[in-house]
Amino acid sequence: MNKFFFLALALGLWACTEAPSASTFSSELDAFFQSELEEYGPGGAVLVMKGDSTIFTKGYGLADLETGEKITPNTLFNTGSISKTFTAYGILKLRDEGALSLEDSLGLYFPDFDNVEIARKVRIKHLLAHTSGLPDLRKTEEDSLFYLTAKDRENWEPIKRAQALNFEPGEKFQYSNPAFNGLALIIEQVSGRKWQDYVHQEIMLPAGMENSTITDGPYPQEGVAHAYEKVNGQYREYDYGEYPTFAAAGNGGVWSSVNELAKYELAIRQGAFLNEATIAESRTVYEPENRADSLPPFLGF
């Protein structure tokens, strides 16, 4: 049984029975993650919220096997595709400010598309919802150096060379990393700021995420969790756990901790950087019914 499903099942069963005391719940959850650490190692961080309150948070294992630095609830991890939600909210914030429209075509921002008809058809809303039909023309499998070093602009450049779409925009759902590289570049054009700066100032700081950061190539050097893979019984550092390394930040470059991601969730609920109507809109499913994914793809997810 998948361990994450097992945890969800265990928590669900707990919720259906007589609620134990907070100390009992914490001790049982702690025991579970201690056992996970022993089996999988070398570490991780956990936070559980109930309503608007944090009821459990703890770090397990080591962030750095060389230095012995321990993982805490404040240790920064690469959040992977959670980063896309920050990019999406940046676009929505600019829309709310009247700086752009989700109906804007890509040609408005990227007039150098080889195929102007494609640039006319595909709109910002399609990038947000993974329904653009744009093919991924990056040579990521053949060129590992590109995978390791290419930033947002380099990842988006091959997409502009597309001569045909995989399907008409809005007709199907097809997950797209480079779509969010393109959205990051649109944020830069419209705001006049590096998109990392815009998101940090307009979303992270209002949310109280003072220690979170967005990569612009190099990783944060302190307080971060290094990732490891086990090879022949020995742990080997796995390039901070990211291959590709998310030098392209629009799709996966946010570094944050469980404590600050909890602040992010509260800020979303409380309208710290977007109003209630926009948050509700972001959780509307902008996609056709013939998708294969079982989870509803909200904007940025």
- Compute the mean pLDDT over every residue in the chain, rounded to the nearest whole number: 84
Q: Which amino acid is present at 185?
A: L
Q: How far, in Å, CA of 197 to CA of 175, rounded? A: 26
pLDDT reported for residue 140? 66
pLDDT reported for residue 163? 96
pLDDT reported for residue 80? 85
- Binned at pLDDT 50, 70 and 90, residue 19 comes out as low
Please state whether beta strands 213-214 and 254-256 pair in parallel, antiparallel, or not at all (unpaired): antiparallel
pTM of the model: 0.85
Determine, yes or no, domain membership for 206: yes
Determine, yes or no, domain membership for 24: no
Residues in the chain: 301
Total domains in the fold of the chain? 1
Determine, yes or no, domain membership for 162: yes
pLDDT reported for residue 216? 76
Determine, yes or no, domain membership for 295: yes
Determine, yes or no, domain membership for 228: no
Tell me the DSSP string of 47-62.
Answer: EEEETTEEEEEEEEEE
Structural domain containing residue 124: 79-217+247-301
pLDDT reported for residue 300? 66
pLDDT reported for residue 12? 46
Token pair in block for residue 29:
């959850």
Tens-digit pLDDT profile for residues 163-222: 999 999 988 888 898 999 999 999 999 999 999 999 999 999 999 999 999 887 666 777
- Binned at pLDDT 50, 70 and 90, residue 46 comes out as very high
Q: CA–CA distance from 32 to each of 4, 38, 46, 50, 98 (Å)?
A: 11, 10, 11, 19, 49
List the beta bridge partners of residue 44. Answer: 60
pLDDT reported for residue 3? 41
Tens-digit pLDDT profile for residues 123-172: 999 999 999 999 987 876 666 666 667 678 888 999 999 999 999 998 88
Cβ-proximal residues to 52 (8 Å cutoff; 6+ apart), any chain:
266, 269
Determine, yes or no, domain membership for 49: no
Which CATH number belongs to the domain containing residue 251 in this structure? Answer: 3.40.710.10
Whether pLDDT at 79 is above 50? yes
Determine, yes or no, domain membership for 33: no
Out of 115-124, 218-227, 278-287, 291-300, least confident range: 291-300
Determine, yes or no, domain membership for 37: no
pLDDT reported for residue 17? 47
Q: How far, in Å, CA of 151 to CA of 142, rounded? A: 17
